[in-house]
């Protein structure tokens, strides 16, 4: 998602839940971020708290968000609900969202979608943003999806 967002020149916000105790963002992800970008450490589960208020103030024009992250039933859930409360359209990148337990992920995705968010895959959402093969980022983004990827289990009934 980071590579796709960069290709489409989309703003990117990366947060870390209490990195002192839980660990920092994996180096692979850090290496893919735009030059100079740092993850925002946070203590609230949502990424819409005081720790990121400055970022949101600088990006107040945002009306749609592609959301991915770890612990669907905690951080992703609370972030999605906060964004929806702010009137921001939320698109959950289901192949970029995880939880330690499958049932937590399933219930979280269902709860968030019942609250008004949309479910999509990274490929679906990035191609939707491009709208067609004439988009300048088409070749870059198409290349991202030529590599083999594992399926991500989804809730049985949405």
Q: What radius of gyration do the chain's Cα atoms show?
A: 15
pLDDT of residue 152: 56
Under the banding of pLDDT at 50, 70 and 90, the label for residue 26 is confident
Considering only residues 21 and 4, tell me which one the structure prediction assigns the higher pLDDT.
4
Q: Distance between CA atoms of 56 and 44, rounded to whole angstroms?
A: 15
CB contact at 8 A, 8 and 127? no
**Encoding tokens for residue 156?**
């049985």
pLDDT of residue 118: 98
Tell me the pLDDT tens digit for each residue of 107-157.
Answer: 999 999 999 999 999 999 999 999 999 999 999 999 998 876 666 555 554
Q: Answer whether residue 35 shows pLDDT above 90.
A: no
State the pairing for strand pair 89-98/64-70: parallel
Q: What is the pTM of this model?
A: 0.88
pLDDT of residue 124: 96
CB contact at 8 A, 122 and 97? no
Q: Answer whether residue 158 shows pLDDT above 80.
A: no
Considering only residues 56 and 146, tell me which one the structure prediction assigns the higher pLDDT.
56
């Amino acid at each position: 998602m980071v590579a796709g967002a960069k290709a489409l020149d989309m703003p990117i916000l990366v947060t870390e839940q209490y990195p002192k105790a839980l660990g920092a963002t994996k180096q692979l992800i850090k290496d893919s971020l735009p030059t100079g970008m740092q993850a925002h450490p946070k203590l609230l589960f949502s990424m819409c708290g005081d720790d990121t208020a400055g970022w949101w103030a600088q990006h107040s024009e945002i009306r749609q968000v592609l959301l991915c992250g770890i612990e669907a039933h905690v951080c992703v859930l609370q972030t999605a609900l906060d964004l929806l409360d702010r009137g921001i359209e939320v698109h959950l990148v289901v192949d970029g969202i995880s939880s330690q337990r499958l049932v937590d992920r399933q219930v979280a995705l269902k709860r968030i979608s019942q609250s008004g968010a949309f479910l999509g895959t990274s490929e679906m959402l990035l191609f939707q943003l491009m709208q067609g093969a004439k988009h300048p980022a088409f070749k870059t983004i198409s290349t991202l999806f030529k590599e083999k990827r594992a399926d991500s289990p989804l809730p049985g009934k949405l």
